[in-house]
Structure 1
Amino acid sequence: MLEQARASGFRAMVFNAVVETNHRAVHLWHSLGFRTLAIVPEAFDHPRHGPVGVHVMHRSLGEG
C-alpha cells in the first residue's frame, strides 16, 4: 500500500481512526513508521470500555 501510494504521487499517508484500546494495531502502525498526530477523545464507542479515543496516524512517504 505504501509503495503504491508513493508511486501514485502521494507524499504521506494518514489513518484517521486507529482505536486507542487496540494496542496491537497502534504498535503495528508505529512499527511501520507511522506516528500519532493526535488522539480524538471519545470518538469510538467501544463495547466493553465505552467511549474511547482514536489515533490519527501519519507517515511520510519520502525516500526510503
Structure 2
Amino acid sequence: MPTNIVILIAALIVALIIFQAVLKTLKTFISSAIAIFAILVILNMFGFSPDDLIQEITNLPEILRQMLTGEN
C-alpha cells in the first residue's frame, strides 16, 4: 500500500511540472501573438500590408549581407 502512495505523489509532481511547462509555453505564445498583431496593425495604419512585411523578412539575409560587406 505505501508504494501506491509514493507512486501517486510522484505522478502528481510530474503532472504539476508538465502543467507549469504548458502554461509557460501558452503564455509565451499568446504574448508573442499579441505583439505580432500589434505590429501588423501599426504597419497597416502606415499603409503597409502583411505581404510587405513577409517580403522584407524573406529579404532580410540579403539585406544583412549587403550591410556587413558594405555593398549598395
Shared topology, TM-score over 0.5?
no
Identify the structure with bigger relative contact order (alpha carbons < 8 Å, sequence gap 6+).
Answer: 1
- Indicate the TM-score class for this superposition, using the shorter chain for normalisation: under 0.3
Q: Provide TM-score, normalisation by structure 2.
A: 0.24
Structure that is richer in helix per residue = 2
Higher strand share: 1
Larger radius of gyration: 2
